[in-house]
Structure 1
Amino acid sequence: MASTVEIPLVGGTADGEHVTVELDPNGRPPLTHHHLGPQGLAAAEIYELESVDADRQQWRYCWRGPAV
C-alpha cells in the first residue's frame, strides 16, 4: 500500500481545505492538484506543490488559477 500525506490548499475557493494524496516511490506528492468545483471539471482549479520545509517534508498546494 502506498504512503499518503495530507496537504493544505492555499488560495482559491478551496483555501483552508486539505487533500490526502499518495506519495511516489521517492516520497514526494504529485506536483499539481486539480480541485473540482461545484460544477465538477467546469469549475476546477489548479493548485501547484510548494515546499514549506524541505528538511521536514512539509508541503502545501498553492492556487494557480482555473483549469479551464
Structure 2
Amino acid sequence: MASTVEIPLVGGTADGEHVTVELDPNGRPPLTHHHLGPQGLAAAEIYELESVDTDRQQWRYCWRGPAV
C-alpha cells in the first residue's frame, strides 16, 4: 500500500484547503495538482509543488493559474 500525505493548497480559489496525495517510491508527492472547479475540468486550477522544509519533508501546492 502506498504512503500518503496531506498537503495544503496556497492561493487561488482553493486557498486553505488540503489534498491527500500518494507518495512515489522515492517518498515524493506529484509535482502538480489540478484542482477541479465547480464546472469540473473547465474551471480547473493548477497548483505546483514547493518544498517548505526539505529536512522534514514538508510541502505545499502553490497556485499557478487556470488550467485552460
Unaligned runs of 5+ in 1: none
* 3-state SS in 1 of match to 2:34: strand
Structure 1 residue ranges, 4+ long, deviating more than 3 angstroms after superposition: none
Residues in 2 aligned to 1:38 and 1:9: alpha-carbon distance in whole angstroms: 17
Residues in 1 aligned to 2:6 and 2:25: alpha-carbon distance in whole angstroms: 17
How many pairs align? 68
TM-score by length of 2: 1.00
How far the C-alpha of 1:16 sits from its partner, in A, is 0.1
How far the C-alpha of 1:61 sits from its partner, in A, is 0.0
Unaligned runs of 5+ in 2: none
* 3-state SS in 1 of match to 2:27: coil
In structure 1, the partner of 2:44 is 44
| Structure holding more helix per residue | 1
Residues in 1 aligned to 2:34 and 2:65: alpha-carbon distance in whole angstroms: 10
Question: Over aligned residues, Cα RMSD in angstroms?
Answer: 0.2
Residues in 1 aligned to 2:23 and 2:5: alpha-carbon distance in whole angstroms: 7
TM-score by length of 1: 1.00
Identity of aligned residues (%): 99
How far the C-alpha of 1:17 sits from its partner, in A, is 0.1
* 3-state SS in 1 of match to 2:55: helix
How far the C-alpha of 1:36 sits from its partner, in A, is 0.1
* 3-state SS in 1 of match to 2:61: strand
